[in-house]
Structure 1
Amino acid sequence: MDDQQADTAGQFTLQMQKLLLQHSIAAWPRRGRTLLEINCGRGDFLPLLWECGFDMTATESDPDLRAEADRMADRAEVLAAADDHLPFDDGEFDWVVLHLVSHGTQNALNAMAEALRVASAGVALTFWNAASLPYMLHRVTNRKNPWHGPVFCWWQVWRALRSLAAGSISGASVLAGPQGTWNAQCVLSRCNRVLPWLPMGAWGIIRIDLNKSRPVTPLPLRLGRRRMRRPEPVMECGHKSQTKAVNTER
């Protein structure tokens, strides 16, 4: 594959990824809501997320990638942070988008736990899917060339996310066809469209919407009427000494 073909395939791949991300977070309220993007890389998704209407913050540990993402500094704050140790308080953001990029199951679990810690409403995890047909074909026919990034098994991510938090889980994937079809000019490119609930695509998103905490009942409403003190009358006839003198004269 020459440089022009690789560039065309890369643009098509990114376009499909953006389409899937937009589809996956479409149900999230956004006006006045905060969103944290973890492992934002060069900031390829920052314009999309900002245009969706979120108040954006992003983190990236690689200084070179972070420097490229800083082109969005007027729209999003880009900070240096590792995905397993975020400098934010619990529940500081409404939504979190976490791109899984760390090798190893334990590293992925640590990143998921941190994302869930700082999110108050929901988390979306993006990752390259090891259980997809394109990756399996790559392993068989094109092992010498590197894959696009670290891969994770869809069902392992699903089970791990379910074990870490209580909430409703949904998922979708994209790029289900062989890599040769990752081109808008290919007649088979339509097989790479968004597949809701199906884990067959090479790039997937699993979203969890966290259950809202139960509202706290105000204390006066939880107390019985008999436990409420009745208001006492206020004496308005002056100082206590004057009142005592009046009673003595009588």
Structure 2
Amino acid sequence: MFNPEKADNYDRWFTTPEGRFALEQERRLIQHLVSGWPRRRQSLLEIGCGTGIFLDMFWEYGFDIYGIDSSPDMLRKARDKLGCRADLHLGSAESLPFDDNEFDFAAMITLLEFCRDQGQVLAEAGRVARKGLLICFLNKNSLYHISHKLLRLWRRDKLLVRARWHSYREVRSLVQENLGNKKTYARSVLLGTRILWRDRHVFKTLNRMLWPPVFGAFTGMRVDLIDREPIKTPLLAPVKSEIKAG
């Protein structure tokens, strides 16, 4: 699905005003969701890591990062971006080439939209991760999805047209069916349509707020695989940030 041109377009989207704004809010949401997870010496696998945009963020947060993607072209860009900071693999989300409980955590960011068997993907993620999962998806009940459906005939990029959007209730049901009755916590961002995703827009505050999971365009869900209380004061591993800056 992702040839070199589409891989370049994927990265280029995040350099547009809307893309930069959306990425900032998505990062804030993800940091909020994983704030209770330990970081140092904790391994995190991003399934469907793409060009490494979010893997880089997880590295800044202090995780030891691993990634897997089915697209050689996306992985090539991820390797250029991350260098030796990440251990990257080519493979399928439906059949992960890892042992049971090999990682502490796993993340899937807008991955389920492009998988044929979402249940199998979740089951595999739960198999290889020991402590928790992060699932981020595009909310089909959001204003963004409604506007996208109305305008999709005029869009050049048909990627999101082929995507299978989900509601919060659907993803919650998938988690229960494939992982059992696990404790979850979810929030969303980007309340309005894409045209409102700008720093200078009058509605920027609404798009920056964390909303209940049923409202925003981008919804994130944390799944706790083991019964444990999150740490009270999460550490953001400033040592790694200093290394990167140097």
Task: Give the TM-score band, short-chain normalised.
Answer: 0.7 to 0.9
**Among residues 32, 42, 61, which one is paired with 1:33 in the alignment?**
42
Would you say how many aligned residue pairs link Structure 1 and Structure 2?
Answer: 211
Aligned residue for 1:195? Answer: 210
Question: Which amino acid is 1:15 matched to?
Answer: E
CA RMSD, 1 decimal:
2.4
Aligned residue for 1:160? Answer: 174
Q: What is the DSSP-based 3-state SS (H/G/I as helix, E as strand, rest coil) of the residue aligned with 1:56?
A: strand
Aligned residue for 1:175? Answer: 190
Aligned residue for 1:55? Answer: 64
In structure 2, relative to structure 1, the CA distance for the partners of 1:188 and 1:196 (3 Å cut) is closer
1:183 and 1:147 mapped to 2: Cα distance?
Answer: 23
Percent identity between the two aligned chains: 31
* Structure whose CA Rg is larger: 1
2:126 and 2:33 mapped to 1: Cα distance?
Answer: 17
Q: Which has the higher contact order (CA 8 A, sep 6+)?
A: 2
In structure 2, relative to structure 1, the CA distance for the partners of 1:148 and 1:193 (3 Å cut) is farther
Instruction: Could you tell me which runs of 5 or more consecutive residues in structure 2 were left unpaired when the two chains were aligned.
Output: 1-11, 229-246
Shift of 1:148: 6.4
In structure 2, relative to structure 1, the CA distance for the partners of 1:148 and 1:155 (3 Å cut) is farther
Aligned residue for 1:218? Answer: none
Instruction: Could you tell me which runs of 5 or more consecutive residues in structure 1 were left unpaired when the two chains were aligned.
Output: 214-250
2:90 and 2:14 mapped to 1: Cα distance?
Answer: 34
Q: Greater share of helix residues, 1 or 2?
A: 2
Aligned residue for 2:140? Answer: 130
Alignment of 1:221-232 (within 5 A): none
Q: Retained in 2: the 8 A contact 1:100–1:108? A: no
Shift of 1:153: 2.1
Q: Retained in 2: the 8 A contact 1:170–1:197? A: no
Q: Retained in 2: the 8 A contact 1:129–1:204? A: yes
Question: Which amino acid is 2:178 matched to?
Answer: L
In structure 2, relative to structure 1, the CA distance for the partners of 1:72 and 1:212 (3 Å cut) is same
Shift of 1:142: 4.6
